[in-house]
Amino acid sequence: MRFRRPKLRRLAGPAGRASWGLADQALSSLSNLAVGVVVARSSTVADFGVYALAFGGYTIALNVSRAVATEPLAVRHSGDRTPDWERAVRASTATALLAGFLGMLVGLGIAAFPGVPSKGVLIAFAVTMPGLLLQDAWRWAFFVVGEGQKALVNDLIWLLAMLVIFGGLYLTDTASASTLTFAWGLGAVIAAVAGRFQAGISPRRQLIREWVRRNWDLTPKYMGEMLAVSGTIQVYMLGITAAAGLAATAGIRGAQVLLGPVNVINQGIRMISVPEAARALRHSYRRLWLVGLAISLGVGAGALAWGAVFLLLPATVGRELLGPGVWTQAHAVLIPVILLQALGASNAGAFAILRALAAATRGLRVRLMSSVILITFGVGGAVLAGSKGAAWGLASASFCTLLLWWNEAHRAIAAHRRAVSAP
């Protein structure tokens, strides 16, 4: 027992932080699942296709914010609460808020173009963008110092506020795709305000320039990487729409909504994986590799397990959640979308390894290569075989990109070891 207790204590910290990460992301993904379900039930198939594209735009803004504001915070300030952490959080949250305002201007500009369909949905995303990005920044700030319980409370505030507003919309018979989307975003705004009081510090815009300058060796590469991720999704969604119609886009997005718990596992682990990988690197390369493998195996297995369970549920469940029109399209591509999500989630461990090693160039390279593969396979599949071809093409591409991620992680560890041991 004398030898086991230290080992148990070493495991208790990461396990506890991981459990907070999963619980927190469960609430965050529940919010996204809820708005996806209610919008699907309140929309036509074509309208939901537009919502899917608008949600992709939000994802782009979120990834840009993370690249500029929160990824450097996780890489360079994981540990304990210190004056340096407080200054970094003031700077990173202010940077995220600025990214939100810029995203709002872009969204409103797109909505102003004549002939743009479902403008209300685009405007709802745009006007709540600052709150959405600031709320996400608070969550990262809490996790890098091991305060996942505060992130959980913050997401609970978002969910409860959103549900209260949803209730008011349905009671007043004003629920629509645009008002429901706005309610979801407004819940995030309320949670972002609460995050300031939970942290006990405020964003400071005067520190934005200093933050960007200090992290400029990482930020452009992280931004290029994140833009490649979200931009790739938008490009292949638009390509699939052009090749197979809005119904195909709605089907893939509808299946992704049903697989929301996969994102719970994926994003919950990613939230804590970079700090954990950074801690593992301080111990040894072997521990770093094992942590990365454990992350990927856990996320991938969980994603496949959820997909298998959902395939066994009666079709009436899907129809009740998405409505008959969207469900018909989603059901046809459910299996390849499960594989797409599971294989994509399984690169989380390699991603964390590259982040811990600050191998930004390698991360950007593998993202760009993955983008080309995903777009080619996804759009090519849509041209050849419609929505099913697109979904199977994306699943095949996801397997190829998984191999690329782990090859790059292996090479990054070898290069870092050589650099450290060099005289």
pLDDT tens digits, one per residue of 153-210: 998 999 899 999 999 998 998 888 888 889 989 999 999 999 999 999 999 999 999 9
Helices 260-283 and 348-356, axial angle in degrees (round to 10): 40
pTM of the model: 0.69
Q: Between the ranges 81-85, 289-293, 307-311, 314-318, where is the mean pLDDT highest?
A: 289-293
pLDDT digits (tens, 9 = 90+) for 332-364: 888 998 899 889 888 989 999 998 888 888 988
Using CA atoms, how far apart are residues 338 and 347, in angstroms rounded to an integer? 15
User: Over 70: is that where the pLDDT of 250 sits?
Assistant: yes
Helix (H, G, I), strand (E, B) or coil at 147: coil
108-145 confidence digits (pLDDT tens): 998 888 776 678 888 898 999 999 999 999 998 988 88
Cβ atoms of 74 and 144 closer than 8 Å = yes
Which has more confidence, 1 or 367? 367
Q: From CA 407, how far away is CA 387, in angstroms rounded? A: 31
DSSP three-state, residue 216: coil
Whole-number Å distance between alpha carbons of 322 and 325: 8
Higher pLDDT, 227 or 369: 369
Per-residue pLDDT at 26 = 63
As a whole number, the mean pLDDT across the chain is 82
Residue 297 CB: number of other CB atoms within 10 A?
13
Q: How high is the pLDDT of residue 28?
A: 67
CB atoms within 10 A of CB 365: 16
C-alpha span between 130 and 132 (Å, rounded):
6
**233 Cβ contact list (under 8 Å, min separation 6):** 56, 59
CA–CA separation, 302 and 264 (whole Å): 10
**pLDDT at position 14 over 60:** no
Secondary structure (3-state) at 213? helix
Task: Give the pLDDT of residue 97.
Answer: 95
pLDDT at 322 over 80: no
3-class secondary-structure state, position 42 = coil
Q: Which of left, alpha, beta for 114 (phi over 0: left; psi -120 to 50: alpha)?
A: beta
CB-CB contact of 120 with 129 (8 Å): no
Euclidean distance between CA atoms 284 and 27, whole angstroms: 34
Q: CA–CA distance from 376 to each of 195, 229, 342 (Å)?
A: 41, 14, 20
> Residue 132: CB partners within 8 Å, gap ≥ 6?
58, 61, 62, 100, 185, 188, 189, 192
- Integer Cα distance of 182 and 42 in angstroms: 14
